[in-house]
Amino acid sequence: MSTPISRRAVIRGGAALAGMAALGMPEWMLPALAQSEEVVPWTDIPANFNPSPATGLRTLDTRTIQRSTFITSAEDFFAVQHYPVPPVDPATYKLRLSGLVNKPLVFTLDELKRRPRMEQIVCFECSGNNPARLNMLTGNARWAGTSLNALLKDAGLKATAREVVFFGVDKSTEDIAHGAVQPQPYEQHFGRSLAVEDASKPEVMITWEMNGAPLPAKNGGPVRLIVPGWYGISNVKWLDHVHVQDSRFMGRFMARDYVQLMQTKMGDEVVWNETSVSRIRLKTMVARLARNGSRYTATGYALNDGTPLRSVEVRVDGGPWQPVIMDRGNTQYSWKLFTYDWTGVAPGDHTIVSRATDVNGTVQPEEADLQSKKTRWENNAQFTRKFKV
């Protein structure tokens, strides 16, 4: 984590802090307001909350999420990386495809750009995101690039191909264990993999554009992988090497880090399992609350692996679950914005919480339902927001 935090990020961090500690935020720090609309501050945010605890981490102020910010600007898009941001010169950049293919391929950026273009709106979050951190590691952007599946087809996968490994230009020293022998240091590139079946899905893309502009270096430019519906970790930044092999890739970010430890009860038996962070678990949160006269509008988002949703509901002050209005601009892999309007809010302390149910009947869990999840990854708990009127 070595990228310096930009001045802007520092200012925004300060703004978030100021808003949390006191209500007297200067107007320029507040999200844009509709006429005579007033933002209602959350009271669930701890006074000492630090939105950017680690150097190089960029966060989204989730209180700004609304229709007008459906697409997160590149400037506001979060950033997480584990190694120093590598310098990659677009003029000399090459993407290499090697391993169990009939025809190994190499592309310059211009050659990639001559391939059939695809565009998709995709939202993802870091699997380390959680309500206590206000789910600030998220963003929704329009990505443009080309199909990975078509590229794999051109190379021709051999019958023994099982796994596609994606390496970034970024690298660092990893201490890797040798059984009883002391771990030894090895220089390793950032790597993540997908089973051939997942890598061949039509939505998986190799991208070089974000919101109509060249992909910024902080978000993996010149070229990154986007795996719609999967947690951030899968979207390998500074991608320069795709390698096809016949066995599972067990690199740090597949098998040692970003591993979920979970218990499942099967009757009387408890099954322990460790799984690699993969598809985004069903999540919603109410992000922003505004007041216009006596009318309150809560705006939130739902996010998952692309499985269609059956319902999104909110509950105010522990009352009945109420249906929300889903925005028309939502797409399969975007975040799905919703609003809920209501009146009759009496002076005092209040709560509002949201939850979603998908077409398979999966319901967003409550915090208490996540007891069996022993690691912090993939925290998709319902998030009860507090406010005072």
Ligand X SMILES: Nc1nc2c(c(=O)[nH]1)N[C@H]1C(S)=C(S)[C@@H](COP(=O)(O)O)O[C@H]1N2
Binding mask 112-141 for ligand X (x = CB under 6 A): --------------x---------------
Q: State in angstroms the smallest separation of the CB of 241 from ligand X.
A: 11
Binding segment (CB under 5 A) for Mo ion, from list 47-55, 181-189, 233-241, 267-275: 233-241
Q: Which residue is nearest to Mo ion (CB)?
A: 126
What are the φ/ψ torsions at residue 120 (nearest 5 degrees)?
-150, 145
Q: State in angstroms the smallest separation of the CB of 80 from Mo ion.
A: 5
Contacts of 197 (CB under 8 A, 6+ apart): none
144 near ligand X, judged by CB under 6 A? no
81 near ligand X, judged by CB under 6 A? yes
d(CA 270, CA 264): 6
**Binding ligand X by CB under 6 A: which of 15, 79, 121, 316?**
79
Q: State in angstroms the smallest separation of the CB of 125 from Mo ion.
A: 8
DSSP tag of 157 = B
> Which residues between 216 and 245 bind ligand X (CB under 6 A)?
219-220, 232-233, 235-238
Binding mask 170-189 for ligand X (x = CB under 6 A): x-------------------
Burial pattern 72-83, b for ≥16 Cβ within 10 A else e, equals: bebebbbbbbbb
Binding segment (CB under 6 A) for ligand X, from list 2-10, 74-82, 310-318, 371-379: 74-82
Closest CB to ligand X among 42 and 238? 238
C-alpha closest to that of 276 among 301, 259, 292: 259
**Binding ligand X by CB under 6 A: which of 80, 121, 199, 353?**
80
> Which amino acid, one-letter code, is at 25?
M
Under a CB-based contact definition with an 8 Å cutoff, are residues 124 and 60 in contact? no
d(CA 11, CA 76): 13
d(CA 62, CA 15): 13
Q: CB burial class (10 A; 0-12, 13-18, 19+) of residue 351?
A: middle
Which residues bind to ligand X, rule: CB under 6 A?
Answer: 77-83, 126, 168, 170, 190, 219-220, 232-233, 235-238
Which residues bind to Mo ion, rule: CB under 5 A?
Answer: 80, 126, 232-233
